[in-house]
Amino acid sequence: MVKRLDKDDFTRLVLQNQTAMFRTARAIVSTDEDAEDAVQSAICTAFTKLDALRDPAKFKSWILRIVVNNCYDLCRKYRPITDLSEVQDFLPADDPDPTERLSLWEAVLSLNPEMRSVVTLFYYDGFSIREISRTLGISDAAVKTRLSRSRKQLRLLLADEQGGVYGSI
């Protein structure tokens, strides 16, 4: 029989995983505030559905899946539509080389949400391909494809005249 989590265990596990939850949320949504909202909502949802967790050893992937779902819900809710012709005169001029000011994390944040979430889970949270596929509800092949495309895009974003400072991505 699997041991169920009590309130104290739940609190301890949330505190252990709070950085991973925020980082995952921030990789998907556009602001820290939205990430915090998604994490807070995920914690509330997880606590109310604690009986659905069959194996407490899989708490991290379970709660990150809830975080990811909350983030996607937020993205769907706040999908802004702007007619670029209306704001064209107010847009800044193109920067001759914007890659010079990009840090690795800024480059990761510039990826689309699907790629950002995979990169964040793999490189920042140490998830395996299998764990990511379970967490995001996609196939292992889809995870590998997203990682490959993300690496390619990050290399392009971070490359400099000498062939790129982040050659190991």
User: Under CATH, what is the fold of the domain 7-77?
Assistant: Rna Polymerase Sigma Factor; Chain: A (1.10.1740)
Domain ranges in the chain with CATH number 1.10.1740.10: 7-77
pTM above the 0.85 mark? no
- CATH number for the domain whose boundaries are 94-158: 1.10.10.10
Instruction: Read off the pLDDT of residues 148-163 as tens digits, 9 standing for 90 and up.
Output: 999 998 888 877 423 5
The Cα–Cα gap between 125 and 48 comes to 25
Dihedral over Cα of 61, 80, 119, 139: its sign: positive
The Cα–Cα gap between 153 and 66 comes to 27
Residue stretches of the chain with pLDDT short of 70:
1-3, 78-102, 160-169
